């Protein structure tokens, strides 16, 4: 039995199948999504289920980051923010609760577990959410690398925002600098010299998103958080699902100097690097100023910027305007940074 990835037959899972890029989408679409069966995975950041006259939003994420402690956060903080942010991307900014399933390796230090738990509690406080149920499993030494945490969030909302809602003419807003999380984790993992200047952006953005929606609820047409595969993957998925083309102004994309320097040194594109405290918003033209103002008034949105627009041309494609010319932005295959979240 095999699956097809970019025209090639694949018989075994590779790292890139978990990296958030084209290969992962191909695997999920071929193997896991089956519209004729009750098993249908990976359609959006979460699912929207009608309950009465509202929507129940449910989203799940497994967190396998390595190292478990990194500049700016740890696996505990990440596992809370990852799921809170997925709910927020669907318009559900006030979670009813999270569940948490922890898998531990035999011999894992209790002190480390306690530190992770403290970090989860602090992130819950920031996001205004509680862990309401959980599960603990232990695997033998060498059967799992330390600790893995899967969180699932539930929330109710009156209005669901999809990642497929972009329309021609919409402006594309990013809520802050890009590439911070991935570069910080990579520098820490490989003990790179400049690691002390890089810090992950991992944070719950539900409050930030709530402010944007309050400023112009119906005018936010689509949202997605640019995690694995970065802004490039997220925009490719949004453009393909929305059947629009995107034109990105390269100079408008906020990137920290340290991240830009590290990316250039390593030959990586900040647009393809993971973020854990950012959101991409599609916004109707008439509401752009109001949304930008609301975002910039929030501590997590000070660097918010319009980075592009949606058009009818080239649905599913992304064109970068460099100021000197235009080129296509390809979708990352996604094998650059394993275990980034």
In the structure encoding, which two tokens stand for residue 340, read together?
A: 């980034």
* Residue 157 near residue 45 (C-beta atoms within 8 A): no
Which residue lies nearer to its own copies by CB, 72 or 153?
153
Give CA separation, 142 vs 45, 146, 147, 177, in Å. 32, 9, 11, 38
Least Å distance between CB 289 and its own copies? 34
Which residue lies nearer to its own copies by CB, 47 or 293?
47
Least Å distance between CB 319 and its own copies? 29
Which residue lies nearer to its own copies by CB, 27 or 219?
27
Least Å distance between CB 44 and its own copies? 7
Least Å distance between CB 92 and its own copies? 13
The phi, psi pair for 275, rounded to 5°, reads -125, 150
Which residue lies nearer to its own copies by CB, 170 or 225?
225
* Residue 19 near residue 229 (C-beta atoms within 8 A): yes
In the structure encoding, which two tokens stand for residue 53, read together?
A: 């006259």
Least Å distance between CB 14 and its own copies? 6
How many beta carbons lie within 10 A of that of residue 84, not counting itself? 30
Which residue lies nearer to its own copies by CB, 42 or 323?
42
* Residue 327 near residue 250 (C-beta atoms within 8 A): no
Closest by alpha carbon to 44, among 284, 222, 277? 222
Least Å distance between CB 35 and its own copies? 11
Which residue lies nearer to its own copies by CB, 149 or 209?
149
* Residue 296 near residue 304 (C-beta atoms within 8 A): yes
Looking up tokens 């899972």 gives: 13
């Amino acid at each position: 039995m095999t699956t097809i990835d970019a025209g090639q037959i694949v018989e075994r899972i590779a790292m890139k199948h978990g990296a958030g890029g084209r290969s992962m989408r191909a695997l999920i679409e071929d193997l896991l999504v089956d519209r004729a069966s009750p098993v249908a995975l990976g359609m959006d950041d979460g699912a929207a289920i009608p309950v009465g006259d509202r929507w129940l939003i449910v989203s799940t994420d497994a967190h396998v980051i390595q190292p478990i402690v990194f500049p700016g956060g740890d696996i505990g903080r990440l596992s809370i923010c990852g799921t809170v942010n997925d709910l927020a991307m669907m318009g559900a900014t006030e979670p009813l609760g999270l569940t948490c399933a922890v898998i531990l390796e035999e011999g894992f230090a209790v002190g480390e577990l306690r530190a992770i738990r403290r970090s989860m509690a602090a992130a819950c406080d920031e996001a205004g959410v509680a862990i309401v149920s959980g599960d603990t499993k232990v695997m033998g030494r060498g059967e799992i690398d330390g600790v893995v945490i899967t969180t699932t969030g539930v929330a109710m909302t009156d209005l669901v925002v999809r990642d497929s809602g972009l329309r021609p003419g919409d402006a594309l807003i990013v809520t802050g600098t890009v590439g911070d999380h991935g570069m910080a984790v990579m520098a820490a993992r490989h003990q790179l010299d400049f690691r002390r200047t890089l810090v992950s952006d991992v944070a719950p953005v539900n409050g930030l998103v709530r402010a944007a929606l309050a400023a112009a609820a119906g005018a936010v047409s689509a949202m997605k958080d640019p995690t694995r595969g970065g802004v490039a993957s997220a925009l490719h998925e949004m453009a393909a699902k929305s059947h629009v083309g995107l034109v990105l102004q390269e100079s408008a994309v906020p990137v920290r100097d340290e991240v830009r320097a590290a990316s250039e040194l390593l030959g990586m594109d900040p647009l393809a690097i993971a973020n854990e405290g950012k959101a991409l918003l599609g916004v109707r033209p008439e509401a752009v100023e109001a949304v930008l103002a609301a975002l910039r008034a929030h501590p997590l949105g000070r660097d918010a910027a319009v980075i592009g627009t949606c058009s009818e041309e080239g649905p599913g494609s992304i064109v970068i305007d460099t100021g000197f010319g235009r080129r296509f932005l390809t979708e990352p295959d996604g094998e650059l940074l394993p275990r980034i979240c």
